[in-house]
């Protein structure tokens, strides 16, 4: 099997697995309990907070553990919106190609009377700080722009947007779920007020993540109950998962540069191989993208068919995001960068991880090249294009 869907999830790393097993055996007490077993768990929990914080430039008191990226996004946005509304600010700026955890939360706020402004994304998959600046208003409560896009991998100018928001006194949240553990994150240097991350995107377990909130900013709870996470997130902490996340993040951050160098060389080889397929186009900037992300559209091909045939050859890939597969709507990200519906349907995302090899890449290029040709040969529409009865789009 060749796994090329690391943006969907990653295999739990051995270090994370060991940390989780050790936690279940040794610190299984409730961190809120006063006896020593509980207090040992509380200390382990705090050490995880320090370690996760250290990887992103935050102090431990600024790190809140959650159930993952979706919860962190929901809480950050809803909290900032409610706090803003309390001061009469009900305008929110974001982009058209955010993850659904952000977009659906914003839709909900819109139904509650907030004004949500989604910035257009350029064809290269980037937004600029100038565009954010032009959208800022006196009543802007929040700017939320993702660090790296989960479908096309493009990396936004987060530091510039952060500095701008800081200068104007507007809260800035970034969904860094695809970036954490893969790209440098420095919440202080990049002037980030709130940041979401998720363990299973960097070798940690599923169902756990973190929300960084800058000291002094209010954070309203999403889940009511006990006083865990300093009253900001009720529910007994999943300490094994949290320790697994801390181990995975530390490991990823320790090897970040070296992994990025190796994986981006594989990515470039994969992009070069796939770009030889006629009537194909790379989605997103060729350089300003995540080390492991490759995303192409192939004209005249149905993304889902391509995936099934790749699976037959043992290659795990994705078309659009896992969240939209199962519906026939084309990816909102590809539409946001201006791909026509017809082209957006023929998309393929291959996301590499550190265990992928050159042989994997060459096998994937050969398989995709074959399958695209096979699918096009079967299509009457493709025959019309080849004979000139219909026009090619790309």
The C-alpha angle 371, 377, 378, rounded to 5 degrees, equals 95
Q: Of residues 94, 105, 174, 198, which one binds ligand PLP by CB under 6 A?
A: 198
Distances (CA, A) of 125 to 84, 135, 142, 154: 29, 18, 22, 6
353 lines the binding site for ligand PLP (CB under 6 A) = no
Provide the pairing of β-strand 63-66 with 209-213: antiparallel
- Candidates 146, 94, 88, 89; CA nearest to 116 is 94
* Closer by beta carbon to ligand PLP, 198 or else 280: 198
Name the segment binding ligand PLP (CB under 6 A); options: 31-39, 172-180, 286-294, 305-313: 172-180
Q: Tell me how far apart the alpha carbons of residues 28 and 242 are, in angstroms, rounded to a whole number.
A: 12
Name the segment binding ligand PLP (CB under 6 A); options: 48-56, 64-72, 124-132, 383-391: 64-72
Q: Tell me how far apart the alpha carbons of residues 57 and 50 are, in angstroms, rounded to a whole number.
A: 10
Q: Residue 259 CB, nearest distance to ligand PLP (Å)?
A: 18
Q: Of residues 101, 161, 222, 294, which one binds ligand PLP by CB under 6 A?
A: 101
70 lines the binding site for ligand PLP (CB under 6 A) = yes
* Closer by beta carbon to ligand PLP, 75 or else 280: 75
Distances (CA, A) of 239 to 235, 252, 259: 11, 20, 28
SS3 at position 198: strand
Q: Is 165 a catalytic residue?
A: no
Tell me the residue nearest to ligand PLP as measured from the CB. Answer: 69
Total Cβ atoms within 10 A of residue 61? 13
Q: Of residues 31, 53, 69, 320, which one binds ligand PLP by CB under 6 A?
A: 69
Given the residues 165, 253, 297, 323, the one annotated as active site:
323
Q: Residue 149 CB, nearest distance to ligand PLP (Å)?
A: 7
Q: How far is CA 40 from the centre of its chain?
A: 33
Q: Of residues 31, 203, 209, 303, which one binds ligand PLP by CB under 6 A?
A: 209
Q: Tell me how far apart the alpha carbons of residues 161 and 142 are, in angstroms, rounded to a whole number.
A: 12
94 lines the binding site for ligand PLP (CB under 6 A) = no
Q: Residue 168 CB, nearest distance to ligand PLP (Å)?
A: 25
204 lines the binding site for ligand PLP (CB under 6 A) = no
CB distance 208 to 249 below 8 Å: no
Q: Tell me how far apart the alpha carbons of residues 9 and 198 are, in angstroms, rounded to a whole number.
A: 10
Q: Residue 176 CB, nearest distance to ligand PLP (Å)?
A: 8
Q: Residue 93 CB, nearest distance to ligand PLP (Å)?
A: 18
Q: Of residues 74, 79, 140, 150, which one binds ligand PLP by CB under 6 A?
A: 150
SS3 at position 310: helix
Q: Of residues 56, 77, 157, 175, which one binds ligand PLP by CB under 6 A?
A: 175
99 lines the binding site for ligand PLP (CB under 6 A) = yes
Q: At what angle do helices 358-378 and 256-275 cross, to 10 degrees?
A: 30
Check residue 200 and report its DSSP letter. G
* Closer by beta carbon to ligand PLP, 70 or else 331: 70
Q: At what angle do helices 358-378 and 303-312 cross, to 10 degrees?
A: 130
> Would you state the structure tokens that stand for residue 133, as one six-digit string?
């600046």
Q: Of residues 10, 174, 178, 293, which one binds ligand PLP by CB under 6 A?
A: 178
Which residues of this chain interact with ligand PLP, rule CB under 6 A?
68-70, 73, 99, 101, 146, 150, 175, 177-178, 198, 201, 209
Annotated catalytic sites, by residue? 323
């Amino acid at each position: 099997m060749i796994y090329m869907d690391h943006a969907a999830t990653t295999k739990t790393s051995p270090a994370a697995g060991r940390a989780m097993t050790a936690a279940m055996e040794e610190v299984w007490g409730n961190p809120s309990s006063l006896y020593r077993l509980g207090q040992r768990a509380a200390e382990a929990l705090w050490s995880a907070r320090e370690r996760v914080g250290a990887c992103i430039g935050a102090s431990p008191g600024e790190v809140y553990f959650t159930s993952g990226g979706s919860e962190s996004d929901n809480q950050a946005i809803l909290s900032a919106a409610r706090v803003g509304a309390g001061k009469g600010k009900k305008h929110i700026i974001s982009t058209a190609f955010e993850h659904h955890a952000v977009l659906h939360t914003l839709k909900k706020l819109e139904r509650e009377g907030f004004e949500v402004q989604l910035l257009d994304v350029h064809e290269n998959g980037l937004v600029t700080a100038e565009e954010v600046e032009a959208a800022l208003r006196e009543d802007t409560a929040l700017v939320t722009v993702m660090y790296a896009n989960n479908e096309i991998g493009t990396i936004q100018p987060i530091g510039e947007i952060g500095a701008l928001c800081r200068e104007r006194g507007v809260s800035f949240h970034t969904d860094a779920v695809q970036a954490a553990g893969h790209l440098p994150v420095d919440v202080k240097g990049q002037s980030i007020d709130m940041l979401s991350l998720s363990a299973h995107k960097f070798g940690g377990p599923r169902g756990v993540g973190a929300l960084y909130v800058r000291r002094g900013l209010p954070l309203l709870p999403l889940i009511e109950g006990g006083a865990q996470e300093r009253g900001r997130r009720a529910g007994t902490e999943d300490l094994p998962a949290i320790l697994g996340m801390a181990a995975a993040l530390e490991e990823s951050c320790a090897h970040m540069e070296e992994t990025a160098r190796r994986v981006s060389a594989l990515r470039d080889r994969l992009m070069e191989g796939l770009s030889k397929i006629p009537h194909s186009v790379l989605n997103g900037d060729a350089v300003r993208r995540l080390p492991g992300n490759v995303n192409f559209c192939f004209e005249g091909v149905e993304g889902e068919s391509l995936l099934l045939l790749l699976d037959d050859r043992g290659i795990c890939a994705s078309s659009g995001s896992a969240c939209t597969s199962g519906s026939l709507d084309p990816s909102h990200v590809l539409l946001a960068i201006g791909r026509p519906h017809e082209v957006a349907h023929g998309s393929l995302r291959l996301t590499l991880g550190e265990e992928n090899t050159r042989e994997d890449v060459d096998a994937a290029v050969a398989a995709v090249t074959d399958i695209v040709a096979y699918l096009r040969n079967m299509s009457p529409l493709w025959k019309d294009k080849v004979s000139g009865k219909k026009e090619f789009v790309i």
